[in-house]
Amino acid sequence: MKKQKRDIDTIDMFDELPPPPVTTPGGLSCRAEIAHVMSNALKEHDRYEVVAKMSRLLGADVRISYFNNYTAESREDAIPSLDVAIAFDLATGGSALAEFFARKIGAKLVFGKEALDAKLGRLERMRDEAAKEIKRIKKAMGEA
């Protein structure tokens, strides 16, 4: 079998495995972390432009005061809803909140070619396992 050369230019999605899911009591009380993730994602964006994009995506006015509360770690009462979080990621052109959510449940997001690579790998493993099972059955039948 020909040995494949490793592509060093492509990021290996398994280089950094996700942490295990959060299961400790109170471990999902992460309001301050959400604010921190949102603040970091905003560093290269204009807040007013992000709010305007979010308003368009949601079909409703997102008030800058509410938005500022979402990004303030001190505001324990301001937690963005799921649709607001999705709109935030789309408006910033990133996936900061989606990736944060994935880490909390012990998952990792993959996009584009990386997602296709993962699916291809899974299909190849299934093919290899099926070939082994076929070989085992044929041997049991005396057809090896």
Residue ranges of domains in the chain: 28-109, 110-144
Looking at residue 21, its pLDDT comes to: 79
Q: Does the pLDDT of residue 110 top 70, yes or no?
A: yes
* Contact residues for 54 (Cβ-Cβ < 8 A; gap 6+): 62, 67, 84, 87, 88, 90, 91
Phi–psi pair at 105, nearest 5 degrees: -100, 10
Q: Is there a contact between 96 and 40 (Cβ–Cβ < 8 Å)? A: yes
Q: Is there a contact between 87 and 61 (Cβ–Cβ < 8 Å)? A: no
Looking at residue 142, its pLDDT comes to: 86
The answer to whether the pTM exceeds 0.75 is: no
Per-residue pLDDT tens over the stretch 76-86: 888 899 999 99
DSSP SS3 for 105: coil
State whether CATH 1.10.260 applies to domain 28-109: yes
**Tokens in use for 61?**
């006015």
pLDDT category at 7 given cuts 50, 70, 90 is very low
Higher pLDDT, 75 or 2: 75
Looking at residue 28, its pLDDT comes to: 76
Per-residue pLDDT tens over the stretch 11-53: 455 566 777 777 788 877 888 899 999 999 999 999 999 999 9
The alpha carbon of residue 58 and the mean position of all alpha carbons in its chain are separated, in whole angstroms, by 21
